[in-house]
Amino acid sequence: MSMERVAWGSLYNITRAKSGSKPFSKATLKRVLGFARPHRAKLLGFVALSIVMAFLAVATPVLAGQVVNAIVAKAAAEEVVRLAVLIAVVAVAEAGLGLVSRWLSSTIGEGVIVDLRTRVFDHVQKMPIAFFTRTRTGALVSRLNNDVIGAQSAFAGTLSGVVSNVVALILTLIVMLGTSWQVTVLAMVLLPIFLIPARRMGSKLADLRREAADHNAAMGTQMTERFSAPGATLVKLFGRPDEESREFAVRAGRVRDIGVRTAMLQFTFVTALTLVSALALALVYGLGGWFAITGQLAAGDVVVLALLLTRLYAPLTALSNARVEIMSALVSFERVFEILDLKPLIQQKPDAVPVPAGPVSVEFDNVRFAYPSADKVSLASLEEVSTLDTRGGEEVLHGISFRVEPGQTVALVGSSGAGKSTVAQLLARLYDVDSGAVRLGGTTPGTGLDLRDATFDSLRDTLGMVTQDGHLFHETIASNLRLARPDATDEDMWEAIRQARLEAMIRSLPDGLDTVVGERGYRLSGGERQRLTIARLLIAQPRVVILDEATAALDSTNEAAVQAALGAALEGRTAVVIAHRLSTVRAADVILVVEDGRIVERGTHTELLAAEGRYAELYRTQFAEATAVAQEAVPEF
């Protein structure tokens, strides 16, 4: 290994380190070992190979010195050939063991990545919706990418590096001291000239690297937000493209300047250390040669000392940086563990039971609820803020009670922020109630199954929800539909599409069901996107349907089509409908008026109008005499 390679390796390890290292945590180390346990056999093999390779690395210079001594002593040619063959055997063994070691290293490292990523991904899927409303997606994805990769380096490189370097250092020192302690001690004097610049220069390069990473992250965020369909639309409508371009150019220019400065620092550093290498070799050849000429040292021993010199500096340098590497890996592990330590608020009980078969009623029994505070569902580092928002915990539902019989439709109306969507989220068990209960089934009040006692799978099979945004993944139409039922056939999908009034449009597409809908479904119109989410609901065939402002963002034409599709979705099913437009809920069996987290009125459309209460006020506000006539043409479910 040349001194130049040692220099580059030193720079790489130092600049990878993260600032703000904390002392070793026994709890963290214990958890890290937990991830290592499934790979312990390969880890032991990896460490054993590293030790063997350390012996072989020292053997080659010793054999080379013996060759020189044999030549100087004019030994038999067979002796020189024998030594040469041994050097070749050692080289072949090093190459073969290197391949096996690399395979083990890659297998262990990639295995840890899979374990960590899978654990984090599965855990994040269990987090409540409040977690996702607060967390920056990019920060969360970074944990699954950058930090997981940083963590796996502890197994793939650092562990074996420490073991092999300790063995190599001990063996090298033993051989060098046994060969010439004077030359060895003098060579050690040059060590600070190597390590001190590495520390100082490495620190500067690490700062530059972090600054460049921050600028790159900012550019990445800017591109991600501006290059999405809604972001690009917003910039074109209200943004200032020239200012956006200047802001991006400033960051890109700063990254360029940092890159130039980094390249010059690296070149200066490596050049200086190459000079140290040359000086060290000059010392060995000069002092060792003088000893050889004066008869105090064999000529071959001078060669051994010269070849072992970098094998002395390399492990010393690597070990001096080992703590930096270990702390960097531990920081990555701790950032991953931060995610895993966030406890999901919604969990399935060990003794959970399925929702009973047959028609399902819905009952809210004196439900009270407050959205969780940030410290229960989020991390400041994921929100990219210094401290979490302390607000939260204020009750938004105050004793909500109502019952929906099987096959009935209950509509919730009221002012924005009254708590209607919160009711829908509690029914879908996106949150759990603080007191009271939400029950499914049961022939009389209080006899149904509490949602908290039901299995997740049975709840997904029983409940279906259509939200206002009609979200779709950047996948094919078929993939988006099969999200609701993976075993759905093409015939099942076409039947749902027909009921959703989308058949003509989808059959007109060149790829039909294999058409990719684009990010968030933006290749479709708002009405088409919403009807496709209704088709997805129809494929799921839930017994209880939840519609949360399903037509709020549509124009009257699209609303009519979606309402017709909803008619098919609600037929024969228990339904809870939340609507801002009162025209869409006039045919509901019961209408509940929610204000300030309380039900203030209940009854049919006709009864509530006759009561001249809050519902009548809302109705008159929405429908003046001229618009009331136009709304008569909108189909009702």
What's 365-387 look like in SS3? EEEEEECCCHHHHCCHHHHCCCC
Nearest to 195 by CA among 14, 341, 19, 69: 14
3-state SS, residue 588: coil
* C-alpha radius of gyration, the chain, whole number: 35
Contact call for residues 510 and 477 (beta carbons, < 8 A): no
Q: What is the pLDDT of residue 124?
A: 86
Could you please report the per-residue DSSP string of 427-448? HTTSS--SEEEEEE--SSTT-S
3-state SS, residue 469: coil
Tell me the torsion sign for CA atoms 292, 297, 302, 305. negative
Cα–Cα distance measured from residue 34 to residue 151, given in angstroms and rounded to the nearest whole number: 13
**Could you tell me which CATH number the domain at 3-13+22-340 has?**
1.20.1560.10
Contact call for residues 57 and 311 (beta carbons, < 8 A): yes
pLDDT at 172 over 60: yes
Contacts (Cβ under 8 Å, ≥6 apart) of 302 = 65, 284, 285, 288, 289, 291, 292
Q: 153 pLDDT band (50/70/90 cuts)?
A: low
Q: 433 pLDDT band (50/70/90 cuts)?
A: very high
Domain map (residue ranges) of the chain? 3-13+22-340, 362-379+390-631
Contact call for residues 126 and 346 (beta carbons, < 8 A): yes
Contact call for residues 420 and 412 (beta carbons, < 8 A): yes
Q: 594 pLDDT band (50/70/90 cuts)?
A: very high
Q: What is the pLDDT of residues 350-383, one digit of tens each?
A: 999 999 888 899 999 999 999 888 777 777 777 7
DSSP letter at 583?
Answer: G
Q: What is the pLDDT of residue 637?
A: 44
CB atoms within 10 A of CB 512: 14
Cα–Cα distance measured from residue 511 to residue 529, given in angstroms and rounded to the nearest whole number: 17
Mean pLDDT of 374-395: 72
Could you please report the per-residue DSSP string of 199-266? HHHHHHHHHHHHHHHHHHHHHHHHHHHHHSHHHHHHHHHH--HHHHHHHHHHHHHHHHHHHHHHHHHH
Mean pLDDT of 550-577: 71
pLDDT at 316 over 90: no
DSSP letter at 520?
Answer: G
Q: 633 pLDDT band (50/70/90 cuts)?
A: very low
Residue type, 615: Y
Contacts (Cβ under 8 Å, ≥6 apart) of 534 = 466, 500, 550, 562, 565, 566, 569
pTM, 2 dp: 0.70
More confident residue, 349 or 109: 349
User: In this structure, are strands 598-603 and 590-595 parallel, antiparallel, or unpaired?
Assistant: antiparallel
Q: What is the pLDDT of residue 199?
A: 61
Nearest to 329 by CA among 493, 150, 457: 150
Residue type, 291: F
Q: What percent of the chain has pLDDT over 90?
A: 16
Cα–Cα distance measured from residue 529 to residue 512, given in angstroms and rounded to the nearest whole number: 15
Q: What is the pLDDT of residue 597?
A: 92
pLDDT at 528 over 70: yes
Mean pLDDT of 113-122: 84
Region at 410 (left for phi over 0; alpha for psi -120 to 50; beta for the rest): beta
pLDDT at 67 over 70: yes
Cα–Cα distance measured from residue 56 to residue 637, given in angstroms and rounded to the nearest whole number: 81
CB atoms within 10 A of CB 301: 24
Q: What is the pLDDT of residue 19?
A: 47
Residue type, 424: A
pLDDT at 306 over 70: yes
Q: What is the pLDDT of residue 136?
A: 74
Determine the Cα angle at 246 with ends 240 and 251, to 5°: 130
pLDDT at 131 over 50: yes
Q: Do domains 3-13+22-340 and 362-379+390-631 have the same CATH topology?
A: no
Contact call for residues 546 and 427 (beta carbons, < 8 A): yes
Mean pLDDT of 239-248: 78
Contacts (Cβ under 8 Å, ≥6 apart) of 54 = 164, 165, 167, 168, 171
Cα–Cα distance measured from residue 186 to residue 323, given in angstroms and rounded to the nearest whole number: 27
Nearest to 309 by CA among 434, 173, 408, 465: 173
Q: Rounded to the nearest 5°, which phi and psi values hold at 465?
A: -135, 140
Cα–Cα distance measured from residue 252 to residue 247, given in angstroms and rounded to the nearest whole number: 9
Residue written as tokens 């050692």? 90
Mean pLDDT of 470-493: 88
Cα–Cα distance measured from residue 205 to residue 228, given in angstroms and rounded to the nearest whole number: 34
Q: What is the pLDDT of residue 625?
A: 40
CB atoms within 10 A of CB 21: 14
CA distances from 429 to 43, 440, 454 (A): 43, 12, 10
pLDDT at 266 over 80: no
Cα–Cα distance measured from residue 464 to residue 550, given in angstroms and rounded to the nearest whole number: 13
Q: What is the pLDDT of residue 236?
A: 67
Q: What is the pLDDT of residues 494-516, one digit of tens each?
A: 988 888 888 888 999 888 899 88
Cα–Cα distance measured from residue 181 to residue 303, given in angstroms and rounded to the nearest whole number: 15
For residue 282, count CB atoms less than 10 angstroms from its CB and return exposed for 0-12, middle for 13-18, buried for 19 or more.
exposed
Mean pLDDT of 38-45: 84
Residue type, 592: L
Contact call for residues 557 and 587 (beta carbons, < 8 A): no
Q: What is the pLDDT of residue 20?
A: 45
Token readout for 591 is: 């209408």
Nearest to 81 by CA among 95, 93, 71, 92: 71
Tell me what the pLDDT averaged over the chain comes to: 80
Separation of CA 510 from chain center: 35
pLDDT at 592 over 90: yes
Among 3.40.50.300, 2.40.50.100, 3.40.50.12240, 3.30.930.10, name the CATH number for the domain at 362-379+390-631: 3.40.50.300
* Count of CA atoms in the C-beta half-sphere (13 A) of 434: 14
More confident residue, 392 or 245: 245
Q: What is the pLDDT of residue 451?
A: 93
Instruction: Spell out a b/e string for 142-155, using b for 16 or more CB atoms within 10 Å of the CB, else e.
Output: bbbeebbbbbbbbb
